[in-house]
């Protein structure tokens, strides 16, 4: 344990010792004793802080203008461990005062063809010393230089997909397609990784009890060895209150041969669905198609057949057909 650390521990334990004395002694004697303890402690601290100590400091390294289209062979160091010597008062200021700023390194000038990124020992030492006062001795620092190889990456635009679930409150629902901005992002990676990516997904998110349209920002799900630009997208979820609507839809059989006539009982079915309030009046009978497949009639001896809803808007919910089975008669045309 260094002398400076021992000094800090002594100062830290002083309140506990004083509290114990307060319980044992009378108030007057304790207050007098307390005054002289503080006075002596102050003199002792002043004297101790004038002595020289050695401590280790952690200086962050910040990398600016990092090109998205390069990959480093090793991880760039996040900080530099620095060992310095100076008077205790100066070192205390370094430790608690936040006077030492992060070292900044710009990577904007790196060659697109690949190469080596280097911050020399001389540059690191210069950036450290210019932040320290003249009395401080820089004993050592690690790493002594930053040197990492890098290679160029390929890139292409890939579509973004929402990864998660959305649950609305009862009576509400999506009234249209969700809108992702931007719809595609630039992905930088090796050729093998790029070929394996069909979509880029957002981080998995569960959304509960939604009842109105909202927009939210999502981070993209990380892919090892790949970099995204941008790294976030905004998604708008159009949510609206729904109401029920029923329409009468005629039954069709588009594959019926011309020499046959189909009679169905009934001739129409009721389609009931949930519709956004704003589109209630837009929903028409022509938006639906209720059909019978002729192949289901040829060998049918029961006289009943199922109805299939072959056309419907994508913005309705929970469509049901009633009846879902109807009776039919096939008649031969005489002409």
CATH code at 60? 2.170.120.30
- The pLDDT of residue 14 is above 60: no
What would the mean pLDDT of 186-200 be, rounded to a whole number?
A: 91
Contact 243, 281 (CB under 8 A): no
Whether 97 shows a pLDDT value over 90: the answer reads: no
What confidence score (pLDDT) does residue 96 get?
A: 78
Range of the domain at 75: 52-152
- Per DSSP, the three-state class of 315 is coil
- Same domain assignment for residues 162 and 140: no
pLDDT at 98: 66
Distance from the first to the final alpha carbon of the chain: 111
- pLDDT at position 258: 84
User: 297 and 206 share a domain?
Assistant: no
Number of domains in the chain: 4
Q: Tens of pLDDT along 36-88?
A: 567 656 555 555 556 777 888 888 899 888 887 788 878 888 999 999 888 87
What's the angle, vertex CA 28, arms to CA 25 and CA 29, rounded to 5? 50
Q: How far is CA 219 from CA 60, 181, 195, 268, in A?
A: 25, 12, 22, 49
**Most confident among 43-57, 149-163, 230-244 (mean pLDDT):** 230-244
Residue 318: pLDDT above 60? yes
Domain C-terminal end among 237, 262, 279: 237
**The domain boundary residue, chosen from 237, 255, 277:** 237
**Chain Cα centroid distance, residue 9:** 42
Q: Which residue would you say has higher pLDDT here, 268 or 97?
A: 268
pLDDT band at 3 (very low <50, low <70, confident <90, very high): low
Beta bridge partners of 251: 290
Beta-carbon count within 10 A of 77 CB: 15
β partners of residue 31: none
Take residue 223 and report the two structure tokens written for it.
Answer: 């892919």
Same domain, 211 and 271: no
Give the pLDDT score at 49.
55
Does this model's pTM top 0.85? My answer is no
Round the average pLDDT of the chain to a whole number and report it: 84
Instruction: Examine the domain organization and report whether 68 and 106 are in the same domain.
Output: yes
Spatial CA neighbour of 240 closest among 165, 169, 163, 181 = 169
**pLDDT of res. 107:** 80
pLDDT at 2 over 70: no
- Residues 59 and 148 occupy one common structural domain: yes
CATH number for the domain harbouring residue 192 = 2.170.120.40
Structure confidence at residue 275 (pLDDT):
94
> pLDDT at residue 15 above 70?
no
Query: What is the per-residue pLDDT for 93?
Result: 79
Give the per-residue pLDDT at 75: 85
Residue 133 banded pLDDT, cuts 50, 70, 90: confident
Give the residue with greater pLDDT, 218 vs 123.
Answer: 218
Q: Among residues 179, 213, 237, which one ends one of the domains?
A: 237
**pLDDT at position 238:** 94
Backbone angles phi, psi at 179, to 5 degrees: -110, 115
Q: Between 46 and 295, name the one with better pLDDT.
A: 295
**Average pLDDT for 129-149:** 88
């Amino acid at each position: 344990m260094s002398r400076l650390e021992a000094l800090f521990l002594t100062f830290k334990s002083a309140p506990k010792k004083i509290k114990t004395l307060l319980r044992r002694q009378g108030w007057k004697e304790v207050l007098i004793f307390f005054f002289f303890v503080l006075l002596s402690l102050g003199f002792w601290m002043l004297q101790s802080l004038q002595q020289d100590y050695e401590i280790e400091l952690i200086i962050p390294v910040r990398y600016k203008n990092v090109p998205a289209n390069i990959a480093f062979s090793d991880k760039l160091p996040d900080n530099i461990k620095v060992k310095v010597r100076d008077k205790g008062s100066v070192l205390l200021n370094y430790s608690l005062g936040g006077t030492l700023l992060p070292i900044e390194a710009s990577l904007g000038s790196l060659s697109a063809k690949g190469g080596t990124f280097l911050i020399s020992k001389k540059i690191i030492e210069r950036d450290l010393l210019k932040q320290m006062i003249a009395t401080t001795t820089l004993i050592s620092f690690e790493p002594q230089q930053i040197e990492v190889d890098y290679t160029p990456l390929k890139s292409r635009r890939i579509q973004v997909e929402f990864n998660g679930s959305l649950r609305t409150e009862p009576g509400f629902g999506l009234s249209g397609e969700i809108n992702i901005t931007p719809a595609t992002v630039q992905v930088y990676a090796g050729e093998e990784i790029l070929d394996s990516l069909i979509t880029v997904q957002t981080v998995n998110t569960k959304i509960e009890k939604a009842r109105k349209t909202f927009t939210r920002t999502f981070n993209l799900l990380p892919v090892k060895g790949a970099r995204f630009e941008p790294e976030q997208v905004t998604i708008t979820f159009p949510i609206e209150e729904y109401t029920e609507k029923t329409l009468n839809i005629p039954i069709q059989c588009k594959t019926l041969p011309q020499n046959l006539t189909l009679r169905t009982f009934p001739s129409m079915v009721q389609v009931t669905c949930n519709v956004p309030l704003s589109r209630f009046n837009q929903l028409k009978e022509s938006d639906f198609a209720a059909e019978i497949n002729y192949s289901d009639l040829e060998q049918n001896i029961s006289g009943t057949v199922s109805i299939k809803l072959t056309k419907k808007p994508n913005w309705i919910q929970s469509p049901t057909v009633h009846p879902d089975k109807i009776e039919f008669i096939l008649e031969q045309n005489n002409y």
